[in-house]
């Protein structure tokens, strides 16, 4: 089955459910036609539950950290705009 398993079948074929979760993604298990549980790989679980990176962490992890940037503003007058 492609991602949907009736509870009794999932129980009888648990190793197949786990293999499908590893190979094709989350597997939904239903009871009396209603979705009750999702089996997913640890990789998918960690991706869903990881804490988002803060802006400070983003800049600290930047490959540009430590690069000396010239942030001086050009003092020239602005160019003329055509009417």
Quote the pLDDT of residue 39. 97
CB 40 within 8 A of CB 27: yes
Rounded to the nearest angstrom, the gap between the alpha carbon of residue 39 and the centroid of all alpha carbons in its chain is 17
The owner of tokens 């992890």 is 61
Domain 4-50 coded CATH 1.20.1740.10: no
Interval 63-73: pLDDT, tens: 888 888 888 88
Strands 34-39 and 4-6, by their bridges, are unpaired
Quote the pLDDT of residue 2. 59
Domain ranges in the chain are: 4-50
Mean pLDDT of 30-59: 93
Quote the pLDDT of residue 1. 42
Task: Report which of residues 63 and 82 the model is more confident about.
Answer: 63
- Band of pLDDT at residue 20, cut at 50, 70 and 90: very high
Mean pLDDT of 15-24: 96
């Amino acid at each position: 089955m492609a991602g949907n398993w009736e509870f009794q079948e999932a129980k009888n074929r648990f190793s197949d459910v786990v293999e499908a979760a590893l190979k094709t993604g989350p597997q939904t298990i239903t009871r009396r036609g209603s979705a009750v549980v999702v089996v997913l790989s640890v990789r998918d679980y960690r991706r869903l539950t990881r804490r988002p990176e803060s802006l400070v962490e983003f800049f600290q992890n930047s490959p540009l950290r430590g690069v000396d940037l010239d942030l001086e503003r050009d003092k020239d007058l602005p160019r003329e705009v055509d009417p």
